[in-house]
Structures are given as structure tokens and as C-alpha cells.
Amino acid sequence: MIIPSPRLVALLAIPAIATFTLTFYPPATQFILVLDGIVLGIALMDLLFLPKKTWFEATRTGSRIHSLEHTHEHQLWLDVRSPYPIALEIWAEFPESMAVEGLPHRLTSPSARLEIPYTLCPYQRGRYTSQWVKVLAQSRFGFWNRSFKLEALKEIHVYPNIKRMEDLALLARTNHEHLLGVRKVRKLGGDQEFESLREYVKGDEFRIIDWKSSAKRRLLMARNYRPEENQTLIFMLDCGRMMTGQFDGLTLLDRALNAMLLLSYVALKAGDRVGLIAFSSDVQASVVAKSGAFHLQQMIHASFDLFPQYQESNFDKAFEHLSTHFRKRSLVILFTQILDEVNAKQVQRHLSVLAGRHLPLCVQIQDPALNQIIKEPPIDRKDLYEMAAAAHILDWQRNVLANLKKQGALVLESLPDQISSGLINRYLEIKARHLL
């Protein structure tokens, strides 16, 4: 597309202003016609020097995998094959959920290979594609601009924020997991196998100090024990309408997904296997239960583009898939929000049947708004009715969860921002009590 520049508008304004002199001096007509011809000639001549699209070629480099709310560096490479310096403005299209710095970029360049750095900070998970780089190139004398698009395909996968996994790994090495809300759980029984010695860290139990080794090294040494390994965790993620609610800018599904990945990291480090079933009206994703650090990447890749859907969750299909593909006894962790009788009955029916073969754990995500209504004193009759309704819903939910416990299922009721720490604590408790 060819676009007149502000400089051309200013050039055309000269004969336009001169035309007004004919009102006072008519003999100037010939002079103005000559001036018009000169201006037109300059504009047309500059049009011949308009840059061509074939003079440019664009490529992009940078990581394909991005972490949510983290800044990532990229490079845009522009090959310019021009016989003279060109003033350029370069930018690219990205989704609104990404913050871009460094674009648009303006420069004047001769024939060269240009590197244009920019950064992306995504604020939503998912799979995105940016296909075009847009260029606005100025003509030799600056009276015209040519706008065109260069194909430079860039696919971006935005993964959940894994910084908490890195934080947990760091704190675990320094024995400070409690800073993330993870409690130490005393192991019951004496069937743990000695693994290695390490330096004593403040906060360790005195009973694990190896006094003989400490005396030899003149340094307090503690014993490491290997917990029971090769157990299986299956995560069942409800991606239906019950998980569309939001808390602090994140959907309930996002909160559940973050907790799932954090516990997956902990379980895989402990030598256990993890698998996944994500479902709404149908099974959306399924990952076979495996162990090893690399398996965490498979879990992330299978779930990073899952989003809650305004559909009824089909628990029948999900649990049928579980019984068909996951036969070994496992800790089955169901993330959902029970809000009505229909879903409550389905969850109760399937988890009660599951209790004989597997160890089911229902993670019920609480609605913070209901708790807030209960805490605030009512001001008028409307507030009183709202408080009564909220109390009725919470009481009904407590009865549902109590029935689940009676039928053999474990229950974890948690606020959205406390799911991760609560779930890890429950997992450690299950391991310590040898429930699986």
C-alpha cells in the first residue's frame, strides 16, 4: 500500500497557498502553473524511488516456550537490500494478552542485516501464532511511504508459571519448604531405607542426626532416608463450567493447573509416577502415568492450552477413561467445584465406586465470595438475605463433602490461592501414613 507522507502534504501546501495570490495579482497565473508542475514532478519522481517489497526479508529468533508472566527476549532480523539509506518503521502483530517492548522500531538503514531486539511478556496460557512482520518504508526524499507485510512465522507456547517449582526446589535444598506453606510431616513406621548423609540444617529433627559421623567429621551430619517410591498419582482436571470462575485474575482451572504441576514436580522428585485426565463434555487430554524428571515437560505440554469451557462436565466419560487406561491402584486427585445437586451426585457416585480400587481425593475449590459474605456484618435486609443464602450453600457443600468421606474418599477443601500448599501437604501426609 502506498501512503502519502506528511512531508508530501507540506510540499503540496506551497502551490495551494500561492494560488491565493491570484486574488490580488492575476498575472501570477503562469508562475503558479510552473510551480504546480515542479511540485508534481518532484512528487512523481520520488514515487519512482519508493522501496520495493522484494528488497526486504524478515526472520525471527527466540524461544518457542514461554512462561506465564515472565519476560522473554526475542530478535527480529531484517535483511535490507537497498541502493540508498531508507527510513523504516517495523512492528509485528501479537495477541492482546502479550506485553511487547521494543516494537514498533524506527531506524534509517542502508543495505544491511539488521537485528531488532524486543521482549514479550505473556499474561495468558495457550498456543499463539504471529505470522507477519509489518514494515513502513519511506521513499528516497520522504514524500511517500510504502506499507507491506513480510511473512515471518513465529509460534509461541505459553506455559503456566513454573517459578514456584524453582522456588520449591531451592527451599527444599535449604530445608525451608515452610515458606511456601509446605509443612513437614513426620513419617509413621520404621520401614524407611537409609539413603545418604548430608550436613545438618537448622530445623531438622534431632533424631536424624548421625552422631558417629558427626564426631568423625567434627560437623553435625544428618541422615537422609528414601521414602516409598513407585506410587502413582492420577490428576483429573474438570474443565467444565464449574471451573470458569475467577479469583485475582486467574480462573479456577488455572489455579488447579498450577497446583497439579507443582505437586507433579514434588511427586516425580520423590520417585512416583504421575498421569493426567482433563475433561469437560469429553476427554480433552490424557497422559499416561510415568516417572522421571522429563515427564514433567510432558505434563506441562499436555495441559498448557487447556481452558475452562461453558459446558457440562461428563464425569461418566472421564471415569470410564480412568478405569480403562489406569488400572493400577493410584491416588486419584479430582479438581472440581461442587455447586449443584447434579454434579454433587455424579462426584459422589463415581468416587464411592472408585474407593475400593483406588484412593480418591476430591479437591473442592471454595468460593472466596461466599466466605466474605459470611464474615461481613449485614447492614440492611438485602445483606441479611445474601448472608443466609451463602450460609445455606456452604452448609450444603459441607454435607456433600462429609458424605464423600463416609464413602471412603479423601477430601481437601481449599481457597483458590491455597490449593498448591494444601495439596502438597495432603500428599506428604498420605505418603507418611502409607495410605496408598
149 shares its domain with 238: no
Query: Domain for residue 267, yes or no?
Result: yes
How does 16-26 read in b/e, with b if 16+ C-beta sit within 10 Å?
eeeeeeeeeee
Residue 334 near residue 277, CB atoms below 8 Å: no
116 shares its domain with 263: no
pLDDT value for 68 = 80
CA gap 385, 274 in Å, rounded: 45
216 shares its domain with 341: no
CA atoms within 13 A on the CB side of 222: 13
237 shares its domain with 221: no
pLDDT value for 120 = 92
376 shares its domain with 255: yes
Residue 131 near residue 151, CB atoms below 8 Å: yes
Q: How far is CA 22 from the centre of its chain?
A: 68
Measured from the Cβ of residue 100, the count of other Cβ atoms closer than 10 Å reads: 16
pLDDT by residue, tens only, the chain of 436 residues: 888 888 888 888 877 777 777 777 777 777 778 887 888 888 888 888 888 889 899 999 988 888 888 889 999 999 988 888 888 999 888 888 889 999 899 888 777 888 999 999 998 888 888 888 999 998 888 888 999 999 888 889 988 876 555 555 544 444 444 444 445 544 444 445 566 788 888 767 777 888 888 888 888 888 876 655 688 999 999 999 989 888 877 888 988 998 898 899 889 988 899 999 999 999 999 999 999 888 988 998 899 889 999 999 999 999 999 999 998 999 999 999 888 888 889 999 999 999 888 999 999 988 888 878 888 888 888 888 888 888 888 888 889 999 999 988 999 998 888 888 889 889 988 887 778 7
1 shares its domain with 139: yes
Query: Domain for residue 269, yes or no?
Result: yes
CA gap 122, 220 in Å, rounded: 46
pLDDT value for 278 = 95
pLDDT value for 377 = 84
Residue 279 near residue 287, CB atoms below 8 Å: no
Please name the residue that has the C-alpha cell 502483530: 93
122 shares its domain with 35: yes
CATH number at 412 reads 3.40.50.410
Please name the residue that has the C-alpha cell 454435607: 399
Handedness of CA 306, 310, 315, 320 (dihedral sign): negative
79 shares its domain with 215: no
Query: Domain for residue 113, yes or no?
Result: yes
pLDDT value for 170 = 44
Query: Domain for residue 171, yes or no?
Result: no
Query: Domain for residue 110, yes or no?
Result: yes
Query: Domain for residue 175, yes or no?
Result: no
Query: Domain for residue 181, yes or no?
Result: no
318 shares its domain with 413: yes
CATH number at 46 reads 2.60.40.10
Q: Which residues pair with 224 in a beta bridge?
A: 196
pLDDT value for 325 = 92
Last residue of a domain, one of 106, 137, 159: 159
Last residue of a domain, one of 110, 139, 159: 159
In 3D space, the residue among 285, 339, 349, 357 whose CA is nearest the CA of residue 315 turns out to be 349
Count of domains observed in the chain = 3
Query: Domain for residue 189, yes or no?
Result: no
In 3D space, the residue among 306, 308, 335, 309 whose CA is nearest the CA of residue 157 turns out to be 306
203 shares its domain with 319: no
298 shares its domain with 255: yes
Residue 152 near residue 58, CB atoms below 8 Å: yes
Total-model pTM: 0.72
Instruction: Write phi, then psi, for 135 (nearest 5 degrees).
Output: -130, 135
Domain range enclosing 205: 194-226
278 shares its domain with 401: yes
Helix, strand, coil fractions of the chain, as percent rounded to 5:
40, 30, 30
